[in-house]
Amino acid sequence: MKLILLGAPGSGKGTQSKLICKAYKLKHISPGEILRREIKQDTKEGSIIKPYVDNGKMAPDAVVFRLIKKALPKDNYLIDGFPRNHEQLKNVKNIKVDKVIFLKINEKTIKKRLIKRRNLENRADDSEEAIKTRIKIYKREMPKVLKFYKNKLTIINANQSIKKVYSEIKKIVTKVN
């Protein structure tokens, strides 16, 4: 099974991805986690992407794609939050996907969740300025991505509880599996 889970920052992609991957024994490919790990390990790629991530901007597509491709198995995976823009779609055409799930969420809930996460995790990309930048980029880019995947796309209301969203995702994944 090959899945992509998309949504705005704070829509619950990471939370839902972990639940799905555990239940269906999928490898969790999280570009955000990969980028943060590269930064923490102070790798060559980490030094390139750090200023972007810290300011809520998108890291260079070539670097992101190279890191994802390196982590991607042949089958049984979930990509969490990628692709995020038109440029990334050019690279992702070679990655086979069975289903794309989009977590739709309103802006008020996004801000509330990201501020809560910032207070809990102290992530640099959850600063107020970074949040504004991330939402602006998301609003500009995500419609193109969703249009690209329209034949494989299912939309879920992510303004609900974690349990309710997960229940809806399980119904979709069970059909794919």
Residue 87 CA: distances (Å) to CA of 144, 149, 164: 10, 14, 33
Question: What is the count of structural domains for the chain?
Answer: 1
Q: What is the pLDDT of residues 156-167, one digit of tens each?
A: 999 999 999 999
Average pLDDT over residues 66-87: 92
**Residues forming beta bridges with residue 103, ordered by sequence position:** 7, 156
Cα separation, 172 vs 164, whole angstroms: 13
Q: What is the pLDDT of residues 94-133, one digit of tens each?
A: 788 999 999 999 999 998 999 898 888 887 777 888 888 8
Q: Which residue has the higher pLDDT, 88 or 7?
A: 7
Q: What is the CATH number of the domain that holds 75?
A: 3.40.50.300
**Could you tell me the residue range of the domain that residue 57 belongs to?**
2-176
Which tokens is 84 given?
């995020």
Asked whether the predicted pLDDT for residue 177 surpasses 80, the reply is: no
pLDDT value at position 147?
A: 96
The overall pTM is greater than 0.85: yes
pLDDT value at position 75?
A: 93
Q: What is the pLDDT of residues 137-157, one digit of tens each?
A: 999 999 999 999 999 999 999
Q: What is the pLDDT of residues 34-70, one digit of tens each?
A: 999 999 999 999 999 999 988 888 899 989 999 999 9
